[in-house]
Chains A and B, each alone.
Chain A
């Protein structure tokens, strides 16, 4: 069918222009070609993108279930059908074989603090709290940075609004594959995005230019959201008869208040990281992602380890300015050493380019983090933090086939990525 299609393409090229003088005959030709083309399109889709792949790997880093040398991954309908040692699995005929037997295969990376493809919609700086705003509507699938991010192995991204206000709106969770936001979407409300301090105070206005003011603003909106949620829960349980009024804003917030989506808090420094843990985790019992967690935030790392919060480090990767002993402290390494298990790494793209997520991992390792934790920090840990570890973040049967193929460690800067799968489709292939 492929050769047929090629011929049709040539014909089309030669006869395309309607001003051609052969007139009616030509239109008939064109119609035939059109029908043929329609037919062939289906064939092309199948020929170029078979639904079933068998990836032969020199090494599979499953992340959650150890490493398999000389393994095979079967992909069907966008998900992982089988993961096994090559010796234990016969590849059925209908699978197209991707030979990566001299390479490593690992899960696609998950970024939870990014502003990728959100240009022009990050900060609506009129009022300090904006629970009605969603960045899902801003995402530009044509963004120049997306193909580069894919080529580096980033496959899932949570794009969030900025930190210019205390409550900038809601992030969106999506795959880097698809022509429209709907095609890409994993969850339209990725996270509730809060900013503790170090930026929101720049917004003018009456209240919220100090940490006191900002904390009041945040507690006030959280109380309102909580009240709305409680009223609706009571109504749904039949405890109250009268249907409560609906509010788009609080409807968004309800998901965070009730824990179906996490709350990602832009915060940094020992003082503010602690304030984040106290307010959002202790007081309001939200699923809290302590994001950035930079400057001297690591000095309260033990407090984070005690709580069920997730620490998402970046884009800064070390502290020197606040260390007070002339030492460079690797932030991820310090949190890990203090016992923080829910640890991930971000780029805050475009603060750092989205494609440098792996490099953030390399730098975390440079400053003392172990390689295994670094890999978890850009895959399963970030997936878990955002509540999609049942779909992405590791190579397991039933999960989305989001894979990176590379001739070595993800963190080795000198080695380029060879191939990236998203939802079982080849999203990137290196030119050879």
Chain B
């Protein structure tokens, strides 16, 4: 009995010793294992050029270091990216991914949706999603959020809620109502400001906030941009007028005829979401320019307009038509290049500018120290038709590996 106890004590002492030794000598080793290094690829940083044969170090889900001569800590997890392109994960400024039913997006996220895993395979690591929208004569409505397709991981999926106010500015009723509400909100804010300045407590107490203007107040205070669709030059000019009057921030979706009014858009600092291949027939009854052109993006760039590019279809489709949905986001940007846009701006339109427009550029959209380690590794230039995503990392974790996923692992290009 006693002997047994002695043995057991000896055992315990031994264990404690082993643990101590391990802690003392090997603790840096533990720290190293939390570091991931992507080594030897061409780093398309987006914000500071291309670093040939560079290394990215990742720690705690963030980018720790980027550069050419970076020492990789011993025992760091190394991803060999030689002859590959390493770039920030793509940002889809409009998408339908990872959201189930329900009106509040945060409550309806579904990290096990097939779309989520397709997003990863397509290199998309950040997406703007929305639910509902303005209906009837109500010019505003719906909710939106920015999410990451972290397959199977609900906790890291939501990035930010309510990054814009969805609006509609099409019917005259909607327009009138939008203006009236903004005016009501403006009048209220002016009075509030005036009484506050005069320290008129009596009037301040009497002042009542009109009902239903909370959102409009946020728009007027520029806390939120209004996000709406306007395809024709005339519709865009309507919005320009609105900005002249109220000074709100605006994001315009599907701005097909933006090239016609590029100067006004630039002057009013409107952000756009465009699809280079989206078509609109020229209006044969007017002599002024009209209709769609593949040069839209190039013309907008020249005028100094900031825009994101999204594909014709904001879904992850699996029914067979190739290269027109979010599975091939870079292809849409490639078409902008075909229309005369420079490659750098086209890349920005699916990364950093898209991130800016949806309000998350502080975290994603470029390879910069301190940003989220949302990184994709490609087997070629993102605008080349043969290119596949080989790895997708979100918050430093490999969530997609082409060779291990069934989707495309059997496809190789031998010629």
CB within 8 Å of B: which residues of A? Answer: 144, 294-295, 315-321, 325-328, 330-331, 333, 352-353, 359-360, 362-363, 365-368, 370-372, 411-416
Question: Given A328-B408, A414-B334, are A366 and B320 neighbors across the interface (CB < 8 Å)?
Answer: no
The answer, among B321, B324, B406, for a CB contact under 8 Å with A326, is B406
The answer, among B319, B388, B407, for a CB contact under 8 Å with A316, is B319
Q: Once the chains are docked, how many angstroms separate the CA of A18 from the CA of B406?
A: 76
Q: Once the chains are docked, how many angstroms separate the CA of A370 from the CA of B328?
A: 19
B315 at the interface (CB under 8 A from A): no
For the complex formed, measure the closest distance between the CB of B79 and the CB atoms of chain A, giving whole angstroms.
Answer: 24
Is A317 a contact of B320 with CB atoms below 8 Å?
yes
Tell me what chain B mostly uses at the interface: helix, strand, loop, or mixed. Answer: loop
Is B339 a contact of A365 with CB atoms below 8 Å?
no
For the complex formed, measure the closest distance between the CB of A271 and the CB atoms of chain B, giving whole angstroms.
Answer: 17
Is A414 a contact of B322 with CB atoms below 8 Å?
no
Is B385 a contact of A321 with CB atoms below 8 Å?
no
Is A327 a contact of B322 with CB atoms below 8 Å?
no
| In the complex, residue of chain A having the shortest beta-carbon distance to the beta carbon of B279 | A353
| In the complex, residue of chain B having the shortest beta-carbon distance to the beta carbon of A366 | B385
For the complex formed, measure the closest distance between the CB of A354 and the CB atoms of chain B, giving whole angstroms.
Answer: 12
Is A365 a contact of B385 with CB atoms below 8 Å?
yes
Interface residues on B, range: 35 or more
The answer, among B281, B331, B413, for a CB contact under 8 Å with A413, is B331
Q: Once the chains are docked, how many angstroms separate the CA of A326 from the CA of B262?
A: 44
Q: Once the chains are docked, how many angstroms separate the CA of A319 from the CA of B318?
A: 8
Q: Once the chains are docked, how many angstroms separate the CA of A368 from the CA of B279?
A: 29
Tell me what chain A mostly uses at the interface: helix, strand, loop, or mixed. Answer: loop
Is A318 a contact of B406 with CB atoms below 8 Å?
no
Please indicate the chain A residues that have their CB under 8 angstroms from the CB of B335 in the complex: 413
| In the complex, residue of chain B having the shortest beta-carbon distance to the beta carbon of A351 | B321
Question: Given A320-B318, A327-B406, A327-B407, are A363 and B385 neighbors across the interface (CB < 8 Å)?
Answer: yes
Is B337 a contact of A414 with CB atoms below 8 Å?
yes
Please indicate the chain A residues that have their CB under 8 angstroms from the CB of B343 in the complex: 414
> Could you name 23 residue pairs across A and B whose Cβ atoms are closer than 8 Å?
A144-B281, A315-B320, A318-B320, A320-B318, A321-B319, A325-B406, A327-B406, A333-B411, A352-B324, A359-B323, A359-B331, A362-B323, A363-B328, A363-B385, A366-B387, A366-B388, A368-B413, A371-B415, A372-B415, A413-B331, A413-B338, A413-B383, A416-B338
Is A412 a contact of B384 with CB atoms below 8 Å?
yes
B404 at the interface (CB under 8 A from A): no
For the complex formed, measure the closest distance between the CB of B290 and the CB atoms of chain A, giving whole angstroms.
Answer: 12
Is B322 a contact of A317 with CB atoms below 8 Å?
yes
What 0/1 pattern do residues 90 to 117 of B give for CB contact below 8 A with A? 0000000000000000000000000000
The residue among A315, A318, A371, A414 with the most chain B CB atoms within 10 A of its own CB is: A414
| In the complex, residue of chain A having the shortest beta-carbon distance to the beta carbon of B340 | A416
Is A328 a contact of B407 with CB atoms below 8 Å?
yes
Is A413 a contact of B411 with CB atoms below 8 Å?
no
* Contacting residues of chain B (313-355) with chain A, CB-CB under 8 angstroms: 318-324, 328, 331, 334-335, 337-340, 343
Is B321 a contact of A317 with CB atoms below 8 Å?
yes
The residue among B388, B410, B412 with the most chain A CB atoms within 10 A of its own CB is: B410
The answer, among B320, B323, B339, B411, for a CB contact under 8 Å with A368, is B411
